[in-house]
């Protein structure tokens, strides 16, 4: 009979995996790492010699505990005759463990069809964690927004959620009923949603030189549509990983894609780019950065087969391109027009009272991407 230790001994985890667990004699020692326990595959803490009093909870092998162990590839470790469950070999560095996210992950994983192989679920853990974290952010952020839609406490009823496609991204088939504006309920409706998790979008801007940095790379969407120009001018952008904030993701992606550091992030209006079919939510920022003449070049992660080229463009030229219809990437278009309206106000907030002097920089050649 295993003894739950570390993250698995937390009340939120016990409630889902071992509700009948009973408290056992604490163990003396120290746990290292574990910030990604229950979130990523190898995120479980390791046990070391120490003087901390570590809670232990004794539990039978419940079906939920066995399924959870299979998905994470988690096995008991024996220590002085004790069968400890919830340990691994995580590195010391990492974020503070997030029990709410780990518990929500457990709920999501245990709700998946039991016939789905644990190995298939295991390889998708990073994307599942990012999606579950997105749902938690939605729950936290949307209540203060103005009320939109039918005025009723119970406005939508979800009858079932299936996942007919689950690879790196996934498709959810949601069967729901909606409380209509006339007071009636619709019959059951089937809606398919493309699930990719939240993303962060940042436009680097040098307010002293009054120039921005754009990137270009091949995009599969235009390729699938048959677009003869599948390379687009874009912002820096990327998925928000589980256990990181959208702001942290913006700074990480800027380094990965362009090599630049941003001194400050100015939030722009966040939004759903295509809410009729996609669950993606975009966090938009203007990133204050130093953009000298020689900073543009090639970037991207080789491990993700990214082939990214960066460009320096006067902000006024970006506005011209946006108004002329030369910008076809939606988030960049939004940020270009928003920055055109707000650049003077932002400069004052930054203590830059003198008007910006546009640098001569070379605008991108038309038709080059």
Across all residues in the chain, what is the average pLDDT? 91
End-to-end CA distance of the chain: 62
Domain boundaries, the chain: 3-106, 124-144+151-195, 199-349
Concerning whether 304 is annotated as a catalytic residue, the answer is: yes
Q: How confident is the model at residue 192 (pLDDT cuts 50, 70, 90)?
A: very high
Q: Which residues are annotated as a binding site for Mg(2+)?
A: 237, 253, 257, 306
pLDDT of 365 higher than 60: no
> Closest Cα partner for 315 from 222, 209, 190, 239?
209
How far is it, in rounded angstroms, from Cα 238 to Cα 258? Answer: 13
Tell me the per-residue pLDDT of 304-322, one tens digit each, with 9 for 90 and over. Answer: 667 788 999 999 999 999 9
Radius of gyration of the chain (CA): 24
Q: How confident is the model at residue 133 (pLDDT cuts 50, 70, 90)?
A: very high
Report whether CATH 3.90.79.10 matches the domain 199-349: yes
Residue 211, beta-bridge partner list: 206, 314
Tell me the per-residue pLDDT of 236-295, one tens digit each, with 9 for 90 and over. Answer: 999 999 989 999 999 999 999 899 999 999 999 999 999 999 999 999 999 999 999 988
Give the pLDDT score at 22.
Answer: 96
- The percent of residues above 90 in pLDDT, for the chain, comes to 77
Considering the candidates 244, 304, 340, 349, report the single residue annotated as catalytic. Answer: 304
**DSSP structure string for 321-355:** HHHTT----HHHHHHHHHHHHHHHHHHHHTT--SP
Tell me the per-residue pLDDT of 135-180, one tens digit each, with 9 for 90 and over. Answer: 999 999 987 778 787 776 788 999 999 999 998 899 999 999 999 9
pLDDT of 369 higher than 70: no
Give the pLDDT score at 334.
Answer: 97
How far is it, in rounded angstroms, from Cα 125 to Cα 109? Answer: 9
> Closest Cα partner for 57 from 104, 20, 16, 29?
20
Q: In what order do the strands lie in the sheet with 46-58?
A: 22-32, 46-58, 3-5, 82-85, 77-79
Q: Which residues are annotated as a binding site?
A: 237, 253, 257, 306
Burial of 297 (C-beta count, 10 Å sphere; 0-12/13-18/19+): exposed
pLDDT of 362 higher than 70: no
- The sign of the CA dihedral 47, 51, 55, 58 is positive
How far is it, in rounded angstroms, from Cα 220 to Cα 229? Answer: 11
């Amino acid at each position: 009979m295993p003894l739950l230790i570390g993250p698995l001994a937390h009340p939120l985890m016990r409630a889902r995996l071992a509700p009948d667990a009973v408290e056992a004699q604490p163990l003396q020692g120290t746990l290292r790492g574990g910030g990604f326990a229950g979130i990523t595959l190898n995120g479980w803490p390791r046990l070391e010699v120490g003087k901390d009093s570590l809670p232990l909870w004794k539990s039978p092998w419940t079906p939920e505990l066995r399924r959870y162990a299979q998905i994470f590839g988690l096995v008991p470790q024996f220590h002085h005759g004790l069968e400890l469950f919830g340990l691994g070999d995580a590195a010391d560095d990492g974020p503070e463990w997030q029990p709410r996210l780990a518990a929500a992950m457990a709920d999501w994983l245990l709700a998946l069809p039991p016939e789905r192989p644990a190995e298939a679920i295991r390889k998708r853990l990073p994307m599942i964690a990012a999606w579950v974290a997105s749902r938690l952010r939605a729950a936290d952020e949307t209540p203060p927004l103005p009320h939109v839609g039918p005025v009723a406490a119970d406005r939508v009823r979800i009858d079932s959620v299936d996942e007919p496609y689950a690879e790196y991204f996934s498709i959810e088939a949601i069967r729901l009923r909606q409380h209509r504006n006339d007071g009636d309920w619709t019959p059951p409706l089937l809606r398919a949603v493309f699930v990719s998790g939240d993303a962060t979008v940042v436009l680097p801007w040098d307010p002293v030189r009054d120039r921005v940095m754009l990137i270009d790379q091949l995009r599969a969407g235009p390729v699938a549509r048959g677009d003869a120009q599948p390379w687009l001018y874009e912002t820096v952008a990327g998925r928000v990983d589980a256990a990181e904030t959208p702001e942290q993701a913006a700074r990480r992606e800027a380094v990965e894609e362009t090599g630049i550091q941003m001194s400050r992030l100015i939030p722009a209006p966040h939004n759903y780019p295509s809410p009729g079919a996609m669950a993606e939510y975009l966090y938009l920022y203007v990133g204050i950065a130093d953009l000298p003449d020689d900073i543009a070049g090639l970037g991207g992660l080789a491990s993700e087969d990214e082939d990214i080229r960066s460009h320096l463009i006067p902000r006024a030229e970006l506005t011209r391109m946006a108004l002329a219809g030369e910008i076809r990437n939606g988030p960049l278009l939004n940020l270009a027009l928003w920055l055109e309206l707000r650049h003077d106000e932002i400069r004052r907030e930054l203590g830059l009272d003198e008007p910006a002097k546009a640098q001569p920089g070379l605008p991108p050649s038309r038709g080059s991407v």
